[in-house]
Structure 1
Amino acid sequence: MTTRGLQLRMAIVGSILFAFYLLAATVIAAAFGLPLLPALVAGIVLLPAFQYKLGKWLALRGAKEMPEEGRYREVHQMTESLSRDMGIKKPKLMVMDMGTPNAFAVGRKGAGVVCVSTELMQILERDELEGVIAHELAHIKNRDVVTMVLGQSIATIVGYAVFFLVQMLGEDNPGSFILAWVASSVANMLVMLFVFAISRYREYVADDDARQYIGSGDPLARALEKISRSAQARDTQVDDNVSALCIFNDERGLLQSLFATHPPTEKRIEKLRS
């Protein structure tokens, strides 16, 4: 699992998502009777930026900026050191009550945010927390967070486009609304399959990067074991979109496993210790 392999996958998936985006913009422009070229230009320039900002805002609702004193001082210091080693600007640190021990990163190089749950701070030792922070910084360094957020947004836009298209084609059919809703959900899910294609791989790469920068995979492996055990006894308070960005996402059912955003935790731990 390499950073170069992740970049290649992101380039391929990004091209496919962009094609979906153009098609969706065309359908929506036709549905509302907008001039096609101006609508496409506006969509290409403005909507991705809006979707990115909205996705970042939604993920951080309820989070508070992490103080730089007291028990959080050491977290800021380790983040500063790791960021320097990785060649990125130190991201803003935030804390949030998530219901379960977890952490996620949003944003890009130079404007990243790492958010950890208060529950995570309570159960991890210093070196384990360092492993988690290194994992999240790797996501920012590899730019895969941006791909995930925009991919989810494009899937939503494609779903809307399919809904409008089916409604237009079946406007005289009383059941067209239900059919449009079903078709929209299926289209959204199909686009998300391409996002999931890189999601599991990016977790392996971030794990490997964290091992490289902290010098060992064992602290992160121990952290994942503690997070997994704790998650079984608690209910998460974050929605599915944010769960896809978290270091741990507990997908238990058969259907959830098929569309999993994360590799099995056991395999991640095994690779970290191999």
Structure 2
Amino acid sequence: MGRLGLRALMAAVGLALLAGYALAAWLVYAALVWFWASRPPLSTTILFVAVTTLVLGYCSYQFGTRQLLAGIDATEIPRRRAPDLYRRADRLVDGMRIEAPRLLVADLSVPNALSIGSRTGGVVVLDRSLFRLLSPAELEAILAHEFAHLENRDGLVQTLSYSTLRTVVGLVTLVLSPALLFLTGLARATAWIRGHPNRWADGTVGRFRLLIGNGIVVVLFALTLAVRAHSRRRELAADDRAVSVTGDPLALARALAKLDRVREPDWGLLSSLYTLGDETGPLGRALSTHPAIDERIERLREHARTSPAGRR
């Protein structure tokens, strides 16, 4: 086949690609137009999407917590084996708006604690090594911090936030999908016609298509930063609530300092409520679910300096 024949074949392939992508774009567009024309009133549609997002997020949270507990093989701590721990936990519960959560122990990869659930039916999992590393007052401070997460339903709120984030990004992507499909087909067709099929993103159309795609990524990233920032604020709020209940900010500060000595956890458990937070660099800190340990410890020491009840 001569050069002219090859170019003609590549042009035909390009036109076929354009036709295929254009057809797909039209079908998606037609489906969106049909849905929009046959939709219920806008307020009903928004309500349906919002309720569906929340229900799916809640179901994901319930399923995820059960899977999490099964994955770490946690066992309940008998009250008769740890009477002092339960005495301290009962005292915390009396001063907070929660029912007494179940206290479980597990062999985690790092000394850690996490809370699962909300005000009723909550669970707090403690790594077995915490009983060796922390004093009773420090362990009580960690319990108060985790109880504060239960009191504020932080785990559920965080899960629903991520569910809402995925819904928003999914809707934006769906609305823009006809344009993305057509522009992708046009860019690929142009590249084939020009004889450079692997360089479809280099042309004007390809760059414009990538610009739209990158815009979706930027929206996702911005929303993720907002959710992570909210998570960091809830961590500080849980610290403050623990201080208000125990009256001992230095106990929590000492506990965090001890836990901070263990870095780079290698466990696969991804929980927004784990105690450690050791990300470095501006981007790492922005994406972290927890404030820097040093920041938290300094805030707790400031509590002790400014509150007469906290100077222990």
Q: Same fold (TM over 0.5)?
A: yes
Does 2:56 match 1:53? no
Separation in structure 2 between the aligned mates of residue 273 and residue 47 of structure 1, nearest angstrom: 41
1:135 aligns with 2:145: yes
Give identity over the alignment, percent.
29
- Aligned pair in 2 of structure 1 residues 257, 138: CA closer, same or farther (>3 Å)? same
SS in 2 for 1:250: coil
SS at match of 2:35: coil
TM-score by length of 2: 0.66
Equivalent residue, structure 2, for 1:78: 88
Q: Does 1:225 align with 2:257?
A: yes
Q: Which has the larger radius of gyration?
A: 2
- The answer to whether the 8 A contact 1:163-1:183 is kept is no
What does 1:90-239 correspond to in 2, within 5 Å? 90-172=100-182, 173-174=184-185, 182-232=214-264, 234-239=265-270
Distance 2:258 2:284 in 1: 22
Deviation at 1:98, TM superposition (A): 3.6
Q: Secondary structure at the match of 1:170?
A: helix
Find the aligned partners of 1:190 and 1:56 in 2 and give their Cα distance: 27
Q: In structure 2, what is the equivalent of residue 26 of structure 1?
A: none
Change in Cα spacing, 1:117 to 1:205, as seen in structure 2 (3 Å) is same
Residue 213 of structure 1 aligns with an amino acid whose one-letter code is V
Asked if the contact 2:133–2:258 (Cα under 8 Å) also holds between the matched residues in 1, the reply is yes
Q: Does 1:43 align with 2:75?
A: no
Equivalences for residues 233-272 of structure 1 within 5 A: 234-239=265-270, 242=271, 244-272=272-300
Distance 2:84 2:32 in 1: 55
Q: 1:153 to 1:116 in 2, by over 3 A?
A: farther
1:55/1:153 contact within 8 Å kept: no
The two structures have a TM-score, normalised by structure 1, of 0.74
The structural deviation recorded for 1:195 is 2.0
* Gap change, CA 1:250 and 1:70, over 3 Å in 2: farther
Q: Is the 8 A contact 2:53 2:167 kept in 1?
A: no
SS at match of 1:33: helix
Structure 1: any 5+ residue segments left out of the alignment?
1-28
In structure 2, what is the Cα distance between the partners aligned to 1:159 and 1:98? 34
Secondary structure in 2 matching 1:54: helix
SS in 1 for 2:121: coil
How has the CA–CA distance of structure 1 residues 181 and 213 changed in structure 2, closer, same or farther, with 3 Å as cutoff?
same
1:165 positional shift: 3.0
Residue type matched to 1:58 in 2?
A: G
1:119: how far off?
A: 4.3
Contact 2:116 2:122 in 1 (8 A): yes
Q: Is residue 231–residue 289 contact of structure 2 (8 Å, CA) maintained in 1?
A: yes
Q: Secondary structure at the match of 1:115?
A: strand
Instruction: Give deviations 1:97-121, integer Å, cap 9, x for gaps.
Output: 4422222223322233323333444
Question: In the superposition, relative to structure 1, how do residues 179 and 273 fare at CA in structure 2: closer, same or farther (>3 Å)?
Answer: same
* More divergent stretch after superposition (30-39 vs 80-89): 30-39
Structure 2 distance, partners of 1:182, 1:82, is: 48
Root mean square deviation, CA, Å:
3.1
Report the CA distance between 1:90 and its aligned residue: 1.1
CA shift in 2, pair 1:121/1:192, >3 Å: farther
